[in-house]
Amino acid sequence: MHPDAHKISQQFPLLEQLQRLLDDETASLKTGHMQNLQQVASEKMRCFAQLEQMKSSNSEFRNTLESVPGRSLLTEILRKNQLNGQIIQALMRFNQGAWEIFFGNSQPIYTDLGTTRSTPANHLIGSA
């Protein structure tokens, strides 16, 4: 992180709050404390929306974000958000795999077009 990025985050408490929320989200995901995750994710989305609004309405804020330390800070925020997204995707794949192990891999009976298919060969066998 650029040395001035911390100064920028202090000037704009929203950025500092967003960093804390992303760190909280990462900690919740890593420790499995999912009860906090929904609240943190909602607050994070609110902060991202406020950030977008500030970017479009405040030219000083926009200029600060376009500076080298501002871009560095935003890059770090986006990297953390992407990492959290990757953790969530991995957890979803794990849960889906566990579901299939415990309850079997049940293929849908109907296709998106409303036609039925045979399970073994997945060939269309009629329409609903």
pLDDT higher than threshold 80 for residue 12: no
Q: Select from 6, 89, 12 the least CA-distant residue to 47.
A: 12
* pLDDT, average across residues 74-103: 87
Confidence of residue 43 (pLDDT cuts 50, 70, 90): very high
Residue 19: predicted pLDDT: 92
Comparing 73 with 101, the larger pLDDT belongs to: 73
Confidence of residue 15 (pLDDT cuts 50, 70, 90): confident
Residue 113: predicted pLDDT: 72
Which residue type is seen at 20? R
The pTM of the whole model exceeds 0.75: no
Which residue type is seen at 14? L
Residue 10: predicted pLDDT: 63
Comparing 109 with 83, the larger pLDDT belongs to: 83
**3-class SS letters over the chain:** CCCCHHHHHHHCHHHHHHHHHHHHHHHHHHHCCCCCHHHHHHHHHHHHHHHHHHHHHCHHHHHHHHCHHHHHHHHHHHHHHHHHHHHHHHHHHHHHHHHHHHHCCCCCCECCCCEEECCCCCCEEEEC
For residue 78, count CB atoms less than 10 angstroms from its CB and return exposed for 0-12, middle for 13-18, buried for 19 or more. exposed
pLDDT higher than threshold 70 for residue 106: no
Tokens of 50: 């406020």
